[in-house]
Structure 1
Amino acid sequence: MRLDTANADDEVEINLTALIDVVFTLIIFFVVTTSFNNRSALKISLPSSSANQTEAARKPLTVLIDRSGNYYVGDHALARKDLASLKDALRQQAGNDTGRTLVIQADAKASHQSVVTAMDAAGQLGFTRLSIATAPEARDE
């Protein structure tokens, strides 16, 4: 009695479903773990400080000041450098939430007057929590 187990009609087939699942999982992993820097075009160097950093519970409102004195509130650049336009931009971004922390990130070469103008705008709007961002101090060891 002879059993014929080899059929000439059987085709070799490669199942790609598992491979596609692995590739999609890797793509999702890389997209989720990639950090996107939305301020890559704006280069500022922060002044240094030896104080420790603290984190706020809510996301703070940021005011960036570049070395030429231009203001950036949140992700928006201001067209003018005056107090009124800065106050309007802060009011639009914060609304009535003046208990929120306002972080001023000024370039180390920015004029002192532009930082004082930002602090004055925050005070006139009623912000009570003001923080000035600094870079960690370089330690010589």
Structure 2
Amino acid sequence: MNFRRRPAAEEPEINLIPFIDVLLVILIFLVLNTTYAKYTELPINLPTANAKQAQNRPLEIVVTVPQDGRYVVNQQLVEGRSVELLAAALNRAAGQERNVVVVINADAAASHQSVVNVMDAARRAGLAQLTFATQGQSERD
């Protein structure tokens, strides 16, 4: 007879440390390979108007003014909201050409001051031709 006690069987357990290490590496990989875009798409609700189709303009600068009052010149976000920064961005977009049409895409809920700032910046940049983008009545419904 064998009266020695046998050691109790150990409970199997899952080692979580390698699992956490792999998840940390995957997380770091995802953070480093993800691109963050400030300007992806601004939801703009254009005002309506009944007018004929716009003519083709070979040289135009599109200034977008969303509801929150930021400025986007040719799909490039302008850092800051001052008229001087906007005028500098318009100068860069126009280059040496002064016969450029500035198209203002302002949200219907954007403040009047934001639109006036765009017009003032265009004047300071020496760009005299301004137009406003609208959508037709049937496009809105």
Once the two structures are TM-superposed, the CA of residue 125 in structure 1 deviates from its matched residue by: 1.6
1:88 corresponds in structure 2 to: 88
Could you tell me which residue of structure 2 aligns to residue 71 of structure 1? 71
> Percent identity between the aligned chains?
35
SS of the equivalent of 2:104 reads strand
Q: Which residue of 1 aligns with 2:56?
A: 56
Structure with bigger gyration radius: 2
Partners of 2:70 and 2:81 within 8 A in 1: yes
Aligned partners of 1:56 and 1:101 also within 8 Å? no
TM-score with structure 2 setting the length? 0.67
C-alpha RMSD of matched pairs (Å): 1.6
Rounded to whole Å, the distance in 2 between the matches of 1:97 and 1:56 is 17
Contact 1:44–1:107 (Cα < 8 Å) also in 2: yes
Gaps of 5+ in 2: 1-38
Is 1:109 the counterpart of 2:94? The answer is: no
Return the alpha-carbon distance in structure 1 between the equivalents of residues 135 and 41 of structure 2: 19
TM-score by length of 1: 0.67
Q: Distance in 2 between matches of 1:43 and 1:57?
A: 25
**Partner AA of 1:127 in structure 2:** L
